[in-house]
Structure 1
């Protein structure tokens, strides 16, 4: 479920909505897919040092195709 109160800003590399390739290390320059529920329709490809106010601290997700341009992975959460 997406957060209803988007008041905490943070970087993608520390967000549970950041999804990267299965073997990717999570760094500033790692490219991945934003899988936050309200943003999924945009298929946003973001880097580890991107950020927004939909941030939720947590472990990133992993799925093949998350770092492709455009991303081809489906959200895994």
Structure 2
């Protein structure tokens, strides 16, 4: 197993995933990735997505995180 594989995880379990204030944490919930390296991209992704920038934790919440394109500012 390569070292990047050890850091891979699902968005719904990541502190860099930001969802709407009333949204449930689920595979199909759409949110914004607020990881610093990806903020300029405004990556809108479902809870079932994942990557190697994963950081375990509870998702952040902000109004506008699931809009197309996302309108929320990162909250962490």
Normalising by structure 2, we get a TM-score of 0.92
Gaps of 5+ in 2: none
Q: Residue deviations 1:10-63, cap 9 Å, x none?
A: 000000000000000010000000000011010000000000000000010000
1:26 aligns with 2:25: yes
Residue in structure 2 matched with residue 56 of structure 1 by the alignment? 55
- Consecutive unaligned residues in structure 1, runs of 5 or more: 1-5
Residue aligning to 1:36: 35
Quick check: which one's helix share is greater? 2
Q: Give 1 or 2 for the bigger CA radius of gyration.
A: 2
Task: Number of aligned residue pairs: give it.
Answer: 72
